[in-house]
Structure 1
Amino acid sequence: MLLVRNLLPVYLNKQSIFSMPCNLKKLVTHNIKTYLNRNCSTKTIKVKLNMYDAEIKNLFWPSALRCSYMWLRDHCRCLKCYNVSTNQRKLDLLSIVSEIHPINCTVDDESLKISWSDGHFSSYNVDWLWNNNYQGHFHHVRQSTKTPVLWDGVEAGKIDVAHVTMETFMNSDVGLCSIVDSILKFGVAFVTNVCPTLKATETVAVRLAEIQCTLFGNMWEFSDEMVHSDTAYSKQALDAHTDGTYLTEPPGQQVFHCLHHDGTGGQTLLVDGFRAATELKSCHPEVYDRLCKTYLEAQYIEDGKHYAATYTVLRCHPVSGSLEQVRFNLYDRAPMYTVPEGEVQQTYSDLQDLARVIRHPGGEWWFKLEPGTVVFIDNWRVLHGRASYTGTRRMAGCYLSRDNFLSTARQLQLV
Structure 2
Amino acid sequence: MKRRNRRQKRNLKQGILMGAVLVLALLLGLTIGALLTREKEEQPEETETESLWETVEEEPETETTEETKEAKDYPAPVYQFREEEVTVEVEGLEKEYTLAFVNDIHMISDFEAGPVTEESLPTIQQRYDEMFITNDGKGIPSVELWPEIVKYLNHYDFDGVIFAADLLDYSSTTNVQKLKEGMEELKYPLDKMMYLRSDHDYGGWYGGEAYTDDDGVKAQEDILGGDSMEQVLDFGDFQVVGINRSHKNISAEQHAFIDKQLDNGKPTIMVTHVPFYSEVDESLLDLSMQVRNKIYYWHPQAPNYVPDGETQGLIDRMYHGDANVVEILGAHIHASWDGQVTDSLREHVFGPCYQGQIGIVHVIPKGGKVTVNIHEGEETEEETEETETAETESTESN
Q: TM-score range by the shorter chain?
A: under 0.3
Q: Which has the higher helix share?
A: 2
Give the alignment's TM-score, normalised by structure 1: 0.21
Larger Rg: 2
